[in-house]
Amino acid sequence: MSVSVPPLAALEDVADEDCVDVAAAEQAVADLLRALGRDIDSPHLADTPRRVVAGLREMIEPRPFTLTTFPNDAGYDELVLVRDIPFSSLCEHHLLPFRGVAHVGYLPAERIVGLSKLARVVELFARDLQVQETLTAQIADHLQTHLAPRGVGVVLEAEHLCMSLRGARVAGSTTVTSAFRGALQADQTLRARFHAR
Q: Which of 12, 19, 92, 133 is catalytic?
A: 92
User: What are the DSSP E strand ranges found in the chain?
Assistant: 2-4, 66-71, 80-91, 97-107, 111-113, 129-130, 151-160, 175-182
Question: Which listed residue (19, 27, 93, 110) is catalytic?
Answer: 93
**146 in catalytic set:** no
- The residues facing 2 across adjacent strands are 68
Active site residue 92: yes
- Name the phi and psi angles at 64, rounded to 5: -70, 155
91 is catalytic: yes
Q: Is 162 a catalytic residue?
A: yes
What is the spatial distance between Cα 50 and Cα 67, in angstroms, rounded to a whole number?
33
Check 132, 142, 144, 146 and give the catalytic one: 132
- In sequence order, what are the residues at sequence separation of 6 or more whose Cβ sits closer than 8 angstroms to the Cβ of residue 92? 129, 130, 131
Q: Which of 94, 157, 159, 185 is catalytic?
A: 94
Cα three-residue angle 157-159-162, rounded to 5 degrees: 140
Q: Which of 61, 157, 159, 162 is catalytic?
A: 162
Nearest-Å Rg of the Cα atoms of the chain is 20
Pairing of β 66-71 and β 97-107: unpaired
Question: Distance between CA atoms of 126 and 13, rounded to whole angstroms?
Answer: 15
The question of whether 160 is a catalytic residue gets the answer yes
Active site residue 93: yes
Active site residues per annotation:
91-94, 132, 160, 162
